[in-house]
Structure 1
Amino acid sequence: MTRQKPSVGNRILGVLGEILITLGILLMLYVAWELWWTNIDSANAQKQVTQNLVQNIGDVKIGDDTEEDIDYGPAPVAEVNPGETFGIMYFPRFGSNGSHHPVTYGVGRDVIDNLGIGYYPSTQLPGEKGNFAVAAHRQTHGQVFWDIDKLQKGDKIYLQTKEGYYTYTWYETEIVQPSNGDVLLPVPHEPDAEPKRSILTMTSCHPPFTTRLRIIAYSELTDWRPLEAGPPKEIREMVKDATS
């Protein structure tokens, strides 16, 4: 019995079907790379720059409970140089999977795609009156700020630099348009205002897996401890983990 040859139309449909299947596989591989491998790649890069920073800082004293109530006076302004990783940020609210991440000068893709948290160079420095603003991904590339929407009243964010430990207390979160750059002003949304306090502004995309909006979390500098005094009690185990 002679097999009937497929028509030209059927052959074209077969080729198109194979192309679509191939494209589907490639798309699945890309999604897997974006959602999985970029997190691993970023975590390895963050670990390396954190280790380099710890070596530059030197031995870190952990301290004990008797040192908690000492008033160390006003916080100094941190020294930050272009291109350097200058701090480690700790987030007790984020839990063990996202407890600490390095902070690096700049918010280009070379920083936030690989090194965790980026610092906006146009904003103020830690300890300075005004707005110390940072950015990080909420998903992929380490998803550092995945839980940024979980911050609650009384939550603390800690920044460790060679000067010491800066403690920020969360007070507000808002959702804005990507074009709303006045969240980075010394006093957010108030172009002519003179800053009277030091704040931390964390920015990321919102909702997750989109870039349609921005989520902005604000915290105020409420305490400071020199490096030799050891970290605040709440983050001692995190500091041990980060500096070991």
Structure 2
Amino acid sequence: MVRTTAELLLTLGLVVVAFAAYLVVWSDVQNAAAQSTLRETFEARVAQASRTSPSTPAPRARPAARGRSRTPVATAPLAPPPTGGGLGLLSIPRLGQGWSRVIVEGVETDQLALGPGHFPGTAMPGEVGNFAVAGHRATNGEPFAHLDALVPGDEVTVQTLAATFTYVVDRSELVTPTATEVLEPVPGRPGATPRKALLTLVTCHPRWGSSERLIVSGHLVDRAPTTGGA
């Protein structure tokens, strides 16, 4: 009887492990399909926008002296897409040559299954304030699996229909899951008036857990017009 029970428990354990592995792999497959569709749609919209936009180039941010941030250029407010819709193309060279993901609007389970998600209510790309994005570190394509590899000085770009914004990483930190102050327009200072265009990337820590949140912060240094393909 004891042997039979042990064999049954072992079998059930193997079934659970196999099912969990299946879910992880399947979530990655679904995410890849979603990202492919989002990318095709975004590239088509970029191409359409480039054909219909004025030929006058958008202004660039002026380079500053060595060791200092460049001054962000004010941009017209961007309207967020519908929940789950593609907002822009996120590129992080530190995560690999050609690494990029389409950011979607929203950070609920359904949206993060599609890709990195923009926190509704935070600034849009290039705007003064805090442009905040969350992403999975495991499952669902694990876009932020190696976000901990980023170091100060790394570049992060966000391409929208109108412009491509370049941010530079300032720091990384670990916070509790309840530390929502990192999403404030001025992170850590609720109610303060923002004067800079900032970036906050959020993911779980450790990679296969969620006891903490890994926060990567940066600031805007450049803006250039988006042209032709993504």
Q: Aligned equivalents of 1:162 and 1:172: distance in 2?
A: 28
Give the structure 2 partner of residue 116 of structure 1. Answer: 115
> Where do residues 122-141 of structure 1 align in structure 2 (5 Å cutoff)?
122-141=121-140
Shift of 1:19: 2.0
Structure with the higher helix share, 1 or 2 = 1
Q: Aligned equivalents of 2:4 and 2:102: distance in 1?
A: 49
> Where do residues 176-195 of structure 1 align in structure 2 (5 Å cutoff)?
176-195=175-194
Q: Which amino acid aligns with 1:23?
A: L
Shift of 1:60: 8.9
Give the structure 1 partner of residue 70 of structure 2. Answer: none
Q: Aligned equivalents of 1:34 and 1:173: distance in 2?
A: 30
> Where do residues 191-210 of structure 1 align in structure 2 (5 Å cutoff)?
191-210=190-209
> Where do residues 221-236 of structure 1 align in structure 2 (5 Å cutoff)?
221-228=220-227
1:75/1:223 contact within 8 Å kept: no
Give the structure 1 partner of residue 34 of structure 2. Answer: 45
Q: Which amino acid aligns with 2:16?
A: L
Aligned CA-pair RMSD: 2.0
Q: Can you give the 5+ residue segments of structure 1 that lack an aligned partner in the other structure?
A: 1-11, 62-69, 231-239
Give the structure 2 partner of residue 88 of structure 1. Answer: 89
2:74/2:127 contact within 8 Å kept: no
2:163/2:225 contact within 8 Å kept: yes
What do the CA deviations read for 1:75-133 (whole angstroms, capped 9, x no partner)? 4433312222121100100003x7000111100111112x1110110211112211111
Q: Does 1:17 align with 2:6?
A: yes
Q: Aligned equivalents of 1:101 and 1:186: distance in 2?
A: 24
Q: Aligned equivalents of 1:71 and 1:46: distance in 2?
A: 29
Q: Does 1:77 align with 2:66?
A: no
Q: Does 1:28 align with 2:17?
A: yes
Q: Can you give the 5+ residue segments of structure 2 that lack an aligned partner in the other structure?
A: 51-58, 62-72
2:49/2:161 contact within 8 Å kept: no
Larger Rg: 1
Q: Aligned equivalents of 1:33 and 1:137: distance in 2?
A: 17
Normalised by the size of structure 1, how large is the TM-score? Answer: 0.79
Q: Aligned equivalents of 2:127 and 2:163: distance in 1?
A: 14
Give secondary structure in 2 for the equivalent of 1:58.
helix
Q: Aligned equivalents of 2:205 and 2:198: distance in 1?
A: 21
Q: Which amino acid aligns with 1:111?
A: Q
Q: Which amino acid aligns with 1:104?
A: V
Q: Aligned equivalents of 2:41 and 2:60: distance in 1?
A: 30
Give the structure 1 partner of residue 150 of structure 2. Answer: 151
Shift of 1:53: 1.4
Give the structure 1 partner of residue 54 of structure 2. Answer: none
Normalised by the size of structure 2, how large is the TM-score? Answer: 0.84
Higher mean alpha-carbon deviation, 130-139 vs 27-36, is at 27-36
What do the CA deviations read for 1:156-209 (whole angstroms, capped 9, x no partner)? 101111111011110011100001111110001101311010111110000110
Q: Aligned equivalents of 1:205 and 1:81: distance in 2?
A: 25
